[in-house]
Amino acid sequence: MKWTAKDVDAYHQAKEYVDTALVPCIPIGSTNMKAFAEMSEHTLFITNEVERQFKGRVMLFPPLTYFVQEQIQARVHEWTNVLKQAGFQHVCFVTSHADVADDSFIYVPALPLEHADEEYKQKVARQQVEQVMDALVAKWTLKN
Amino acid sequence: MSEKKHRVSRRQFLNYTLTGVGGFMAAGILSPMVRFALDPILKEEAGQDMVAVAQVKDITTEPQRFDFKVKVKDAWYESEEPRSAWVFKDEKGDIVALSPICTHLGCTVNWNGEKSNPNRFFCPCHYGLYEKDGTNVPNTPPTAPLHRYEYEVKDGTLYLGKAKPRGEA
């Protein structure tokens, strides 16, 4: 489910089934803007695709956006606590930003795919989508 | 053709002009009204076109996943949306194209997704199960069978249309 009025309605109907929060983390920088834009695009693409396949159990939140100078760990921690209190047992952060990607994140490296051909792009993207999906399934089976 | 025979009086001239202009104005007002009244008839069928998905020779009795894209028009905004289908041939040799969207909450189901339930479709979200023909397995979350795509075969290519609930397709 997405963070839209329509899907939030659906969420209220099926609250007990939706136990996973998916949060894309997007860095912004005033230098090297293009690289950050690529990361943003890539992270959002991957998380959207994961949401499409796991619609019934995952709520895709609006991205957690931060400046590269910021300390992100504290905010991630805060978001995790709040979301867990709100009933999301599994909280999952996805990022393409290598500098912050520790164990609390699922890291999906953004490749400079601008000039790659369409087929290769799709293949890489699909692999990463599967990687995120596998990580989620692993979380689910661990708890049950 | 002398000018005298075809003399148009000032009164006649004004009459003609006013009738003409009035006619145009009336037409301008009435035609949108008529158009609105007839609109539902003139509207195109909302269903989307059939999309080429696979070659018939590639379809086996084992369900395979095919990905394709459909054009979706939302008012003025046109976009391409990815879709998938599980396609196989049943015992009679008929093609079956199932939508992978779980009828429970809309996750994507997998064929043989779980070891302990072979030859069934499995939904990883809430462990829903479907038989090969798309029928939901009782006592799992889904309450309806998987939807089926409308299909047609032209020159050895499989075209898929809309996914419809069982019984309608």
Q: Quote the pLDDT of residue B169.
A: 46
Residues B75 and B158 in one domain: yes
pLDDT along chain B (169 residues), means of 10: 70 94 95 82 63 87 88 78 88 88 89 83 89 87 88 88 74
CA nearest A140 in B: which residue?
B125
Distance CA B77, CA A75 (A): 36
Of B82, B108, B126, the CB nearest to A17: B126
Domain that holds residue B23: 1-43
Sign of CA dihedral A86, A88, A93, A94: negative
Residues B39 and B122 in one domain: no
Task: Cite the beta strand spans of B90-145 per DSSP E.
Answer: 95-98, 110-111, 121-123, 128-130
Is A2 in contact with A54 (CB distance < 8 Å)?
no
Residues 64-103 of A with CB under 8 A from B: none
Q: With respect to residue B3, please indicate whether it lies within any of the assigned structural domains.
A: yes
Q: Quote the pLDDT of residue B115.
A: 77
Residues B60 and B137 in one domain: yes
Q: With respect to residue B169, please indicate whether it lies within any of the assigned structural domains.
A: no
Q: Number of folded domains in chain B?
A: 2
Q: Which of A8, A51, A54 to mutate to test the interface with B (most CBs of B within 10 A)?
A: A54
Structure tokens belonging to residue B39: 């609109």
Residues B67 and B87 in one domain: yes
For residue B63, give how far its alpha carbon lies from the nearest alpha carbon of chain A (Å): 18
Domain that holds residue A73: 5-133
For residue B25, give how far its alpha carbon lies from the nearest alpha carbon of chain A (Å): 45
Tell whether pTM > 0.80: no
Q: Number of folded domains in chain A?
A: 1
pLDDT digits (tens, 9 = 90+) for A77-112: 999 999 999 989 999 999 998 888 788 888 988 877
Q: Quote the pLDDT of residue B3.
A: 55
Residues B15 and B64 in one domain: no
Q: With respect to residue B85, please indicate whether it lies within any of the assigned structural domains.
A: yes
pLDDT digits (tens, 9 = 90+) for A34-53: 889 989 988 999 999 899 88
Q: Per-residue confidence at A139, pLDDT binned at 50, 70, 90?
A: confident
The domain spanning residue B87 has which CATH number?
Answer: 2.102.10.10
Q: With respect to residue A139, please indicate whether it lies within any of the assigned structural domains.
A: no
